[in-house]
Amino acid sequence: MPVAKPTKSAKPTKSAKPAKLTAKPGNPKTKPEKRIQTPNRLAVAEVFRRFYVADPEPKGELDYVNAYTLLVAVVLSAQSTDVGVNKATKGLFAAADTPQKMVLLGAERIRDHIKTIGLFRTKAKHVMALSDILIRDFG
């Protein structure tokens, strides 16, 4: 089968300049910058009022016992499903539901509890680190 020869296309002249990446003020070719409108406080308050009316006590999908276990569950939920995190944390929170208990549990035992979720080795280190920070900085 014969191969078609490429057709000649118009070559750019030497006077053609590439488009500039930075726009200069006052340049009529420059598009006006889009401004992002910030909602006023009353509008934001009204949105949250409506949320409250619709559901005064919203609950997420993660299971937790206290504020600390919610924080741990959120850390573990990165790149994982809430269902998977809930399965993994059931035994973890039974063993350690405070920063002190988590540190005593140790990274290896934390890994054993959460090995069913992705990135469990790194997440175990992060849970240990956040527990140490909470104990050290906030008692």
| pLDDT classification of 89: cutoffs 50, 70, 90 | very high
Please say whether the beta carbons of 73 and 85 come within 8 A: yes
The pLDDT score that the predictor gives to residue 92 is 95
pLDDT in tens, 25-67: 666 666 667 777 777 889 999 999 999 999 998 888 999 999 9
The encoded tokens of residue 27 equal 């340049």
The pLDDT score that the predictor gives to residue 91 is 94
Mean of the per-residue pLDDT values for the chain? Answer: 84
Region 121-135: mean pLDDT is 95
Q: What's this model's pTM, rounded to 2 decimal places?
A: 0.61
Please give the distance of CA 17 from its chain centroid, rounded to a whole number: 42
The single-letter code of the amino acid at 56 is P
Q: Compute CA distances 94 → 10, 17, 64, 91, 105, whole Å.
A: 74, 68, 10, 5, 11
Q: In a 3-state reduction of DSSP, which class is residue 88?
A: helix
Among 3-12, 47-56, 86-95, 107-116, which is the least confidently predicted range? Answer: 3-12
Please compute, for residue 102, the number of CA atoms within 13 A of its CA located in the half-sphere on the CB side.
28
The pLDDT score that the predictor gives to residue 139 is 86
Among 15-24, 49-58, 120-129, which is the least confidently predicted range? Answer: 15-24
Separation CA 133–CA 6 (nearest Å): 67
| pLDDT classification of 5: cutoffs 50, 70, 90 | low
The pLDDT score that the predictor gives to residue 103 is 96
Please say whether the beta carbons of 131 and 99 come within 8 A: yes
Q: At residue 33, what are phi and psi to the nearest 5 degrees?
A: -70, 135
